[in-house]
Amino acid sequence: MRKKVLVLGGNFGGLNAALGVQHEVEGDVEVTVVSAADRFLFNPSLIWLPFGKRRAADITFPLAPTFGMHGVEFVHAAATVIDPRARVVHTTKGVHSYDYLVIATGYRNTFDVLPGFDSVDEAHTITTLEDAVKAGEGWRRFLDDPGPVVIGATQGAGCFGAAYEFLFNTAYQLKKAGLRRRAPLTYVTAEPFLGHFGIGGLPGGEKLLKMFCKKEGIQTVTGVAMEELAPGKLRLADGRDLHYAYAMIVPPFTGQDVVAAVPDLADDKGFVPVHDTYQSLAYPDVYAVGVAAAVQVPWTTAIPVGVPKTGFPTEVQARVAAANIAARIRGEEPVAHKEFGAIPAICVMDAGNNGVMILADRMLPPRKFGVMIPGPQAHAAKLMFEKYFLWKSRHGYVRLP
């Protein structure tokens, strides 16, 4: 009988894992994807959506046709119970059994880290499509009645790249609108220094970002926790108040409730501890990739910061998991190993009409090299990559780089 592989989630990790297994075993396997979302979302482009530079239709595509053309069954449903002992997953559209399970369920925003975050009309985030749409509605109201702008990332956040990109895109948009004097811009972050990014920083990064901020007239506040968000005012843990007419703040992420509810599967944040094969420590037939996989951080900071689990490392993890599932289906031991910290750091940070290319041999220290290359070519590179990646993913060409 053909083995059954069940994948929960259809975005970066789920898409690559499902199609990777299908191709690795040359179709001699039953692969099913269960996803609460029926469209793929290219999350990196959410930074542009509030400014009207992208629409939802520009950065999404339907998942069913992509999986269908590769012989993968797609079920638009939410997982409700995972039972790894019985090897079944209950969903809103029935029960699915499996021989191997891949958890690629992504994240939830943790708003309770900052009281008031989810109840203030002019404070936004951009970490989901719905959030980014609301941030765009708020931005249009702001343009009619401008004032101070606060951009930041809370204690425990890990998606610092998006915060920086939105910061510099905001500066660019304010300049285009002739509002720089009427809308002073402040960046506040739990990072111990500018350019830490949740990966320990790169050589010259702090100096480069200080230069960017000075050039754009951006005030910065680093190494501080956020205490409370009220209408028009962000209170910091050190007692300072930052006033705003518009705010965009990146919160920490946690895992999905359905994952956190499984005994011994997840840590206290709902993420799945894994080996460097991306097998669960507790259940060897369960794999976790992307944001759903727990990451060990080799340092502590005065104010907690998370690690960025972005698209590139998620793809790498999914390919490792797919190769190992295929090996086990063939009766072999897992063949692929790649701990998160050893995955190269490859990122393009957009800044409106400028940007920075970030390259390092490892996501986490110790590294042999790391570099940040500023210039308008980074902006052009991000635009080209967006088009390439959406084309690649829509057609299911997961073997391409």
Inter-residue contact 89 to 81 (CB < 8 Å): yes
Alpha carbon 190 to its chain's center = 18
Options 63, 89, 159, 247, the catalytic residue: 159
Exactly one of 167, 262, 343, 347 is catalytic; name it.
347
Q: Tell me, yes or no, if 159 is annotated catalytic.
A: yes
pLDDT at 11 (0 to 100): 98
In this predicted model, what pLDDT tens digit does every residue of 295-345 receive, in sequence order? 988 788 999 999 999 999 999 999 999 999 999 999 999 999 999 999 999
How far, in Å, CA of 232 to CA of 215, rounded? 26
Bridge partner list, 60: 41
Spatial distance between the Cα atoms of 278 and 233, rounded to a whole number of angstroms: 42
pTM: 0.96
Query: From CA 303, how far away is CA 392, in angstroms rounded?
Result: 39
What Cα–Cα distance (Å) separates residue 345 from each residue in 111, 277, 279, 328, 367?
Answer: 28, 19, 22, 29, 10
pLDDT, tens digit, 9 for 90 and up, residues 208-233: 999 999 999 999 999 999 999 999 99
**Token output for 13:** 């990790």
- Our measurement of the distance from residue 60's CA atom to the centroid of its chain's CA atoms, rounded to an integer in Å, reads 15
Token code pair at residue 203? 């050589």
213 assigned to active site: no
DSSP notation for 353-391: S-EEEEEES-SSSS-S-EEEEESHHHHHHHHHHHHHHHH
pLDDT at 394: 98
Residue 60 makes CB contacts below 8 A (sequence gap 6+) with 39, 40, 41, 42, 129
| CB distance 109 to 253 below 8 Å | yes
The H-or-E segment that residue 40 falls in is strand 39-41
Strands in 98-160 per DSSP E: 100-103, 108-109, 123-124, 149-153
Dump pLDDT digits (tens) for 5-20. Answer: 999 999 999 999 999 9
Task: Assess whether pLDDT exceeds 90 at residue 108.
Answer: yes
Contact 224, 188 (CB under 8 A): yes
DSSP assignment of 32-66 equals EEEES-SEEE-GGGGGTGGGTS--GGGSEEEHHHH
Residue 191 structure tokens: 């990072």
The CB density around residue 144, as the number of other CB atoms within 10 Å, is 6
Domains of the chain, each with CATH number or no CATH = 4-107+255-342 (3.50.50.60), 111-253 (3.50.50.60)
For 235-281, write each residue's pLDDT tens digit.
Answer: 999 999 999 999 999 999 999 999 999 999 999 999 999 999 999 99
- pLDDT for 298 equals 78
164 pLDDT above the threshold of 80: yes
> What mean pLDDT comes out for the span 94-108?
98
Q: Which two tokens stand for residue 172?
A: 């660019």
Confidence of residue 201 (pLDDT cuts 50, 70, 90): very high
Residue 43 CB neighbour total at 10 angstroms: 20
Residue 69 pLDDT greater than 90, yes or no: yes
Query: Among residues of the chain, what percentage have pLDDT more than 70?
Result: 100
Q: According to the model, what pLDDT value does residue 109 have?
A: 97
Q: Provide the β-strand partners of residue 185.
A: 149
